[in-house]
């Protein structure tokens, strides 16, 4: 009930107050391509990449902020700060990092940082104006982590777009994401190749500002 009221109030406020600059959070499970997307946007508009990308899970273990990005689309100009969050997970086993050639100590240190990163990302839910939920379209979208992220954004009344990432891969199935979350705008893209990225900018301008 309280969350319903909060959501309605947020919608009402949005009518009167359109933000000139939004704080846009990137949320999603581990290895969905959040930092690849942050790098793509940063490269497109600031001319530089900001984060390290790798196949090792939990590569992003701290919140990374990219400030004062000005995006120009057919619908005008959009100013935003991007907040790239560590991936949300319900488990962190240091042994999984050893498979990537890390020593026991390195793997344990990474696991400790990863758990802190998840906590940090959850805390940031109270500080974002809008969110891109980045999902891997080669994976099953019906996971509890995805449902929890989207449920928390809905409960807080935070506007969101679901980004069905990795459509450049042959096994990608962005329709499965659209079918799983029909109540939300879903934009299929490839952050790695830049495919459809213009559509994402337009969707952000249309739905999140």
Partner 1 sequence: MEIQLDFVSAETLARKGSAEKISFILDKIKRNIIVVLEEALEPQEEAELIEATMREIDAEEFHGIEFYRIDSRAKGLREKIAEYIAGRRHGITIVGPTRLIEAIKREPDYISMLAKVDIPQEEKKKKEGK
Spatial CA neighbour of 166 closest among 135, 120, 208, 197? 135
Token pair recorded at residue 195: 């495919």
Which of 50/125 has CB closer to partner 1?
A: 125
Piece in contact with partner 1 (CB under 8 A), picked from 32-40, 56-64, 76-84, 143-151: 143-151
Please tell me whether residue 15 binds partner 1 under the rule CB under 8 A.
no
Token pair recorded at residue 158: 């935070």
Please tell me whether residue 56 binds partner 1 under the rule CB under 8 A.
no
Spatial CA neighbour of 137 closest among 204, 18, 20, 37? 37
- DSSP 8-state assignment for residue 133: E
Cα–Cα distance between 142 and 112 in angstroms, integer?
Answer: 27
Please tell me whether residue 93 binds partner 1 under the rule CB under 8 A.
yes
Cα–Cα distance between 27 and 131 in angstroms, integer?
Answer: 7
Distance in Å, CB of 161 to partner 1, minimum = 18
Site for partner 1 in 95-134 (CB under 8 A): 108, 111, 115-116, 118-119, 122, 125
Tokens 């997970």 belong to 89
Candidates 13, 72, 151, 199; binder of partner 1 (CB under 8 A) is 151
Distance in Å, CB of 159 to partner 1, minimum = 16
Tokens 């109030």 belong to 9
Site for partner 1 in 152-171 (CB under 8 A): 152, 154-155
Spatial CA neighbour of 3 closest among 113, 157, 137? 157
Distance in Å, CB of 48 to partner 1, minimum = 31
Cα–Cα distance between 36 and 30 in angstroms, integer?
Answer: 12
Please tell me whether residue 90 binds partner 1 under the rule CB under 8 A.
yes
Please tell me whether residue 177 binds partner 1 under the rule CB under 8 A.
no
Token pair recorded at residue 90: 């319900």
Q: Which H or E run contains 209? A: none
Residue 190 CB neighbours (<10 A): 21
Please tell me whether residue 4 binds partner 1 under the rule CB under 8 A.
yes
Number of residues this chain uses to bind partner 1 (CB under 8 A): 27
Distance in Å, CB of 7 to partner 1, minimum = 12
Contact set with partner 1 (CB under 8 A): 1, 3-4, 88-94, 108, 111, 115-116, 118-119, 122, 125, 140, 142, 144, 147-148, 151-152, 154-155
């Amino acid at each position: 009930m309280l969350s319903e009221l909060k959501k309605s109030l947020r919608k009402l406020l949005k009518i009167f107050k359109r933000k000139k600059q939004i704080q846009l959070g990137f949320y999603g499970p581990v290895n969905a391509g959040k930092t690849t997307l942050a790098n793509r946007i940063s490269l497109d508009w600031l001319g530089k990449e900001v984060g390290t990308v790798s196949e090792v899970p939990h590569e992003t273990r701290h919140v990374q902020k990219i400030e004062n990005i000005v995006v120009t689309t057919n619908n005008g100009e959009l100013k935003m700060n991007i907040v790239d969050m560590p991936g949300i997970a319900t488990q962190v086993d240091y042994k999984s990092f050893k498979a990537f050639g890390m020593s026991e100590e390195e793997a344990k240190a990474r696991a400790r940082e990863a758990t802190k990163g998840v906590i940090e990302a959850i805390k940031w839910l109270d500080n974002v104006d809008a969110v891109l939920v980045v999902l891997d379209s080669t994976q099953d979208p019906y996971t509890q982590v995805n449902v929890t992220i989207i449920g928390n954004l809905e409960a807080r009344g935070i506007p969101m777009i679901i980004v069905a990432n990795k459509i450049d891969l042959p096994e990608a199935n962005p329709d499965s994401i659209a079918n799983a979350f029909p109540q939300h705008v879903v934009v299929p893209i490839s952050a790695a190749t830049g495919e459809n990225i213009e559509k994402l900018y337009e969707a952000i301008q249309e739905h999140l500002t």
